[in-house]
Structure 1
């Protein structure tokens, strides 16, 4: 892959290697602020990164195609003389593997194949091949994972790796360039930030007067003009305590570090932690961006004063910015629409719940943790979980008691995707 990437002067790259699955997230965390795009050598590290959800940049992986497998089969047949029916394979879809054999005029149907999608522990792949070899069912293994090949050879198993072809790498690099151009276009999209300021939050009984409120409004306007200048935008007042800023997607994305922090924290928190609520909207037109910003502001208010939310042009919702409970969710996936019709829960609530489960990497949660992630009261979280339980989309699988004298907390297993 490096030898191919070096042929493209438009790319500068960092080469990152790992030997154990648990290193993947550690390496991604180490370099995530230094890259614009991620290119993975295969779908397993890509799957781990996607499941983790900590990467905001576009991610790609080079697929292992039938032509790359054909090269490996040719090497085995010519150099090793190993019968194909005594070889174990992994990753390839059964139909694809059968097609490669058929096109190669190999009159054998491969009997041993571990097909997988997404992230699979390397140990699971190694054990699959090793057990077959140890029990005398196979004489060799063909794997798409470098680390699996390395471990199998340490165990004495003749292991061959399917390497991506140069054409597959070139095609993926072309897709990366195309994505970069698309992102550059997106950076020029209109962005609108609506800011609502509570003038009364910093007043005391001794200073409560219309003159003081007016002074606060003037000072806030001055500060927002400074902030607007930083993002090359324009500011307009939209009523008492509410302001609208017009700028571009790219500038706001940079200011918020890919929509993870509150833009210019000092200005937006000018009068205390709970004073400023913000909604950011991205759109193809000014009207669309302004509508999205207003909707994002309403979502921010659902959390609490001081929250900032974002709605992108594809209706993806991100937020609250700068908080550990930040999640990303979207509107109306089909399975959530159907689930919403069968329960008393809104699509937005179900979408948030699905995003939280994806973020924590498991489908078990209690009401206390759900309340923290959603910024709602524990009784509201319990209502959500009991509603799902009553309709068969959740079940209690245990209890935990973090405090000896407290009430045990029920642990629920959530099943949002079913044959509805």
Structure 2
């Protein structure tokens, strides 16, 4: 892989090696701030990185394709004289392995294959090959993993490694370049951040005057100018207590850690009751970005004072930033529009609900949990669920009582079917 990458001057490569699975996360942590893209040699390190979910840069791995297997099988057949039905394989997809056998006119079918989609321990792969060899079912192992080959060889198992083909590495590099160009385009998109604060919140009955309000506005403007400088933006006033900042997608995405944390308002030195409500909009034009920022601000206000929301150019809504109940949802899908027409619920509400269910990984929820995720009152959450139940899109499947003296909470199963 390194020899192929070195042929492309567009790439600056940092080589990272590991021998034990438990080293993967440690190695990734050490270099997280040094790279723009991650290229893994195979599915195992890629799977661990994906499960860790702390990496924000795009990740790729070179697939172990059937074409890279031909050379290994040829070596085994002519030099090792090992029957193909006495080989064990890993990583490759079953249909791909069968296709290689068929195209190579191998009479037998592959009998032993350890296929996996997500992360898997190298030890599990090694154990699979070793047990087959130890029991006499196989004479050798064909692996796509460098570490597995090394461990199997120590155990005395003849192990042959399938190396990624040069064409597979080149194809993956082309995909990385394309992704980088797309990201660069997105980073240069226009971003607008609307910021709103309550000029009256800092006033007392004794100090209430237009002069005091004006002083607060001036002080806030000075602080916002300092914040605007940090994101290389430009600031304009949009009325009492409201400001608009123009910058780029990439700078705001970096400031908010890929739209997961609240923008750095520490520079404003605000008190708790002066919480800033913010809406970030991304667009192809200034007009589109400003419209999206206004929409984001309205959604932020729906959650609570001091919330920050984002509306991307594809109308996806993200937020509230920095909150554990942060969700990502859209509001323009056809099936949700159809559901909205059959209920008294808005498309935005249905979209939030759909996103929440996707986030928690199940279709069962109670009103208390729904209220927490949506930042609404429990009675409002109960109204949503009872409305869905009355129209046949939800049904009560049980109750739970977290507090012995409290009222049992109904558990609803949500069925958002378009063809209802």
What is the TM-score when the length of structure 2 is the normalising length?
0.80
- For residues 353-372 of structure 1, the aligned pairs below 5 Å read 353-357=357-361
Q: Aligned residue for 1:284?
A: 284
Corresponding residue to 2:355 among 351, 356, 376: 351
Q: Aligned residue for 2:227?
A: 227
TM superposition shift of 1:416: 8.8
Q: Aligned residue for 2:157?
A: 157
Name the CA distance, whole Å, in 2 between partners of 1:414 and 1:273. Answer: 39
TM superposition shift of 1:180: 1.7
- Find out whether 1:180 has 2:184 as its counterpart: no
Provide Cα deviations, 1:195-218, integer angstroms capped at 9, x if missing partner: 111223222333333332222122
Q: Aligned residue for 2:99?
A: 99
Q: Aligned residue for 2:146?
A: 146
Q: Aligned residue for 1:208?
A: 208
TM superposition shift of 1:248: 1.6
Equivalent residue of 2:200, what SS? helix
Name the CA distance, whole Å, in 2 between partners of 1:141 and 1:92. Answer: 13
TM superposition shift of 1:249: 1.5
Q: Aligned residue for 2:8?
A: 8
1:394–1:415 CA contact under 8 A, matched in 2:
no
Q: Aligned residue for 1:253?
A: 253
Q: Aligned residue for 1:51?
A: 51
1:342–1:391 CA contact under 8 A, matched in 2:
no
Provide Cα deviations, 1:262-295, integer angstroms capped at 9, x if missing partner: 3332245535365201111111122322232222
Provide Cα deviations, 1:371-409, integer angstroms capped at 9, x if missing partner: 76665667888999999999789978x9998x9x89899
- For residues 107-118 of structure 1, the aligned pairs below 5 Å read 107-118=107-118
How many residue pairs match? The answer is: 413
Name the CA distance, whole Å, in 1 between partners of 2:20 and 2:62. Answer: 20
2:227–2:265 CA contact under 8 A, matched in 1:
no
TM superposition shift of 1:351: 0.8
- Find out whether 1:73 has 2:77 as its counterpart: no
Equivalent residue of 1:346, what SS? helix
What is the TM-score when the length of structure 1 is the normalising length?
0.80
Provide Cα deviations, 1:169-217, integer angstroms capped at 9, x if missing partner: 1221222222222222222211111111122322233333333222212
Equivalent residue of 1:9, what SS? coil
Name the CA distance, whole Å, in 1 between partners of 2:46 and 2:315. Answer: 25
Which of 149-158 and 42-51 deviates more? 149-158
Equivalent residue of 2:204, what SS? coil
Provide Cα deviations, 1:97-132, integer angstroms capped at 9, x if missing partner: 122122222222212223332323434433433333
TM superposition shift of 1:25: 3.4
- Find out whether 1:311 has 2:311 as its counterpart: yes
Q: Please, which runs of 5 or more residues in structure 2 have no aligned partner?
A: none
Structure 1 residues 135 and 171: alpha-carbon distance in aligned structure 2, compared to 1, 3 A threshold: same
Structure 1 residues 30 and 414: alpha-carbon distance in aligned structure 2, compared to 1, 3 A threshold: farther
Structure 1 residues 60 and 131: alpha-carbon distance in aligned structure 2, compared to 1, 3 A threshold: same
Structure 1 residues 350 and 195: alpha-carbon distance in aligned structure 2, compared to 1, 3 A threshold: same
Name the CA distance, whole Å, in 2 between partners of 1:395 and 1:27. Answer: 46
Name the CA distance, whole Å, in 1 between partners of 2:24 and 2:37. Answer: 16
Larger Rg computed on CA atoms: 2
Which of 109-118 and 82-91 deviates more? 109-118
Equivalent residue of 1:246, what SS? strand
Structure 1 residues 253 and 239: alpha-carbon distance in aligned structure 2, compared to 1, 3 A threshold: same
Equivalent residue of 2:9, what SS? coil
2:220–2:268 CA contact under 8 A, matched in 1:
no
Equivalent residue of 1:89, what SS? strand
Q: Please, which runs of 5 or more residues in structure 1 have no aligned partner?
A: none
Structure 1 residues 370 and 89: alpha-carbon distance in aligned structure 2, compared to 1, 3 A threshold: farther
Cα RMSD, aligned residues only = 4.0
Equivalent residue of 1:11, what SS? coil
Structure 1 residues 5 and 297: alpha-carbon distance in aligned structure 2, compared to 1, 3 A threshold: same
1:201–1:271 CA contact under 8 A, matched in 2:
no
Equivalent residue of 2:272, what SS? coil
